[in-house]
Structure 1
Amino acid sequence: MITIVIPTIGRASLARAIPDGVPVIVVEDTERKGPAAARNRGWRQARTPWVVFLDDDVVPGEGWLEALIRDLADLPEDVGGSQGRIEVPLPSGRRPTDAERNTAGLARAEWITADMAYRRSALEKVGGFDERFPRAYREDADLALRVREAGFRLVRGERVTRHPVRNDGFWASVRFQRGNADDALMRRVHGPGWRSRIGAGGLLPRHAATTVLGLGALALALAGTRRGALAAAAGWAALSARFAWERIVPGPGTPGEVARMTVTSVVIPPAACLHRLRGELEVRR
């Protein structure tokens, strides 16, 4: 009835993600084509009515398989997918870091393939994942929207999967801005209202204003327009400080975290805009 598909890039956490008592297809993304391509390879090998996608850094909860079977049993034919409930264990005794809060957001995200079951017939009808999405970002939302557009409903199950927080380093939040390129593809495929349809927000307009003010301050200074340069620089500093403060206040307030938020809050706006511009150029090709 069920096949598990797990794409992996060789993380040591993979062993904890593999549940017992059910066929599992592990697809190693050796060519770095991305999780969308790896999952397509996996589900096309499956011969069961349901295919369950797990990430290689999750831990299925106790009794997960039994709960999964209950989630999928007797679902109407118009239900094309069932999402598991994601729990993110956060540290006790202190406020979470920016990285921990970002991971905790997965618990509220819709239709993410950290734990997402699809009817094989629904995957066949829409052609599976769109392999133009090269990262573990938006490829699952794109699939969910296309499955719903094909006439299927998506529901939430009761099974629970834990998603531990990884330490991805000082610049992780800057690297994550690469996803803005994928947002350009989402807009091209699903139209300007795609964010509301998956319950996603975004700070790109504010990042664009910050970047324009920063570049404007530099250009005006080079042109010798001191008053204009100072005004633009003040606007840039205000928006940058606001962004950093919004990320610092909910956190633990340690010197390392404050330094990381301060530095990356300056780098993120232009990085986000640059990646979005790159994505817009790519989709127009």
Structure 2
Amino acid sequence: MTRPAGPPPSDAHRQPAVPDYAVVIPTLGRPSLRACLEALARTPGPLPSRLVLVDDRNTLDTAGHADPRARGLDVPALLSPVTTVVSGGGRGPAAARNAGWRAAGPVPWIVFLDDDVVPGPSWAEDLARDLARAGARTAGVSARISVPLPPDRRPTDWERNTAGLATARWITADLAYRREALESVGGFDDRFRRAFREDADLALRLLDAGWDLAAGDRRTSHPVRPADRWVSLRTQAGNADDVLMTRLHGRDWWERAAAPRGRLPRHFAVTGAAVAAACCTALGRPRAAAVCASAWLAGTAEFAWARVAPGPRTRAEVAVMAATSVLIPPAACWHWLRGLWVHRRARPMARQHPAGPPPEAHPARARTSEPVSS
């Protein structure tokens, strides 16, 4: 589907032919979805042949529904004719994206967007160029993500956490994947139930299968969504996903995915000091308990200051950082240990087509996130 025809473009501004593509957006019905769809409808260039909204609210039935209004989803008029809504069943973003691309039909490219991003003003035109430049072995083309931060103050801990998406590799906030490549490796791994590591897992499996991944030129904004004061505590559940990644990809996956290691070793040290202090107290060894308690206090204070120092340092922010800095280390350790148990028998997904991608007509290149632009 294309937008209403206007004057023919000059040769200097003529767009390259773009392969047919579908857009898949998993959603929990957040208000940000409307801003995402409005930006998608405004941008000049070829519209998607299909827009698949995957409603992942687990309170709804699992049957598909063609009418977005029946799900309470507001879709701009320009996109309504190509929009289909299916249910994800509340199984998380990986399963939701699988449901979406499989419902999109036989289109060669699937563009995954999050429901809280805003495509740039020339997004569709830039996407056309990104896909037209992709080689036969290119499985995916990522966008350039920006995270707007407050201009008049230092960002909070949660805002800084979100800002890390701007430099993350292979994030599906805006990433176009070739359908053939998705089919060859079986799509996303449904065992990743949170919006964490499921994108890196897919990218590593594609690279291992011989595909390339590239960086495109289109731009997408990822605003910081509202969050409560305990959001940093809930995100510690991702430590279990890190265990799953190690089971599936080996211990070197951190380097291959350019993923930051985080503070888990320090969290274990701080939590161990707290446990040791409690044990020494119970055994009637006050001096040893005091030493261990001092180590716990020093580690907790260092962690809290590391989070407070770059932030706005308001009274509310300092109070939240102090409280969560006490709770995060044991929470991180608990989720890591839980992951060891839950994923103790995890095995890598089997490839659907072991032959891999088609051969290239030019000499082999390193399979990295190389830009598609000249």
Does TM, normalized by the shorter one, top 0.5? yes
Which amino acid in the other structure matches residue 157 of structure 1?
Answer: G
Residue in 1 aligned with 2:93?
A: 35
2:318 paired residue among 258, 277, 285? 258
Residue 74 of structure 1 and its aligned partner are, at CA, apart by 3.1
CA deviation map 1:88-124 (0-9, x unaligned): 1100111100010000000000000000111001100
1:8 paired residue among 16, 22, 27? 27
Residue in 2 aligned with 1:284?
A: 344
CA deviation map 1:12-68 (0-9, x unaligned): 111222222222110111331001001001111222111010001111010111111
- Distance in 2 between residues matched to 1:168 and 1:97, nearest whole Å: 11
CA deviation map 1:165-186 (0-9, x unaligned): 1221110000000111111100
Say if 2:25 is the partner of 1:25: no
2:146 paired residue among 69, 80, 87? 87
- Distance in 2 between residues matched to 1:155 and 1:238, nearest whole Å: 44
Residue in 1 aligned with 2:273?
A: 213
Q: Is the partner of 1:270 in helix, strand or coil?
A: helix
Residue in 1 aligned with 2:264?
A: 204
What is the aligned residue count? 285
- Distance in 1 between residues matched to 2:319 and 2:332, nearest whole Å: 20
Residue 197 of structure 1 and its aligned partner are, at CA, apart by 1.1
Q: Is the partner of 1:199 in helix, strand or coil?
A: coil
Say if 2:145 is the partner of 1:145: no
**Whose helix fraction is larger, Structure 1's or Structure 2's?**
1
Rg larger in 1 or in 2? 2
Matches within 5 A, 1:58-137: 58-137=117-196
2:237 paired residue among 163, 173, 178? 178
TM-score by length of 2: 0.75
Which amino acid in the other structure matches residue 35 of structure 1?
Answer: P
Residue in 2 aligned with 1:163?
A: 222
Which amino acid in the other structure matches residue 278 of structure 2?
Answer: L
Task: Supply the RMSD in Å over aligned alpha carbons.
Answer: 0.9
- Distance in 1 between residues matched to 2:329 and 2:214, nearest whole Å: 35
Taking only the aligned residue pairs, the percentage that are identical comes to 56
- Distance in 2 between residues matched to 1:86 and 1:74, nearest whole Å: 20
Which amino acid in the other structure matches residue 65 of structure 1?
Answer: A
Q: Is the partner of 1:73 in helix, strand or coil?
A: helix
Which amino acid in the other structure matches residue 98 of structure 1?
Answer: D
- Distance in 2 between residues matched to 1:234 and 1:186, nearest whole Å: 35
Say if 2:109 is the partner of 1:50: yes
Runs (5+) with no aligned partner, structure 2: 1-19, 42-46, 58-88, 346-374
Q: Is the partner of 1:32 in helix, strand or coil?
A: coil
CA deviation map 1:123-173 (0-9, x unaligned): 000000000000111111100110111111111111111111122111000
Which amino acid in the other structure matches residue 304 of structure 2?
Answer: A
Residue 238 of structure 1 and its aligned partner are, at CA, apart by 0.9
Which amino acid in the other structure matches residue 54 of structure 2?
Answer: V
Residue 198 of structure 1 and its aligned partner are, at CA, apart by 1.2
Which amino acid in the other structure matches residue 169 of structure 2?
Answer: E
- Detail structure 1 runs of 4+ shifted over 6 Å in the superposition: none
Q: Is the partner of 2:141 in helix, strand or coil?
A: strand
Q: Is the partner of 2:280 in helix, strand or coil?
A: helix
TM-score by length of 1: 0.98
- Distance in 1 between residues matched to 2:326 and 2:244, nearest whole Å: 26
Which amino acid in the other structure matches residue 271 of structure 2?
Answer: T
Q: Is the partner of 2:111 in helix, strand or coil?
A: strand
Which amino acid in the other structure matches residue 40 of structure 1?
Answer: N
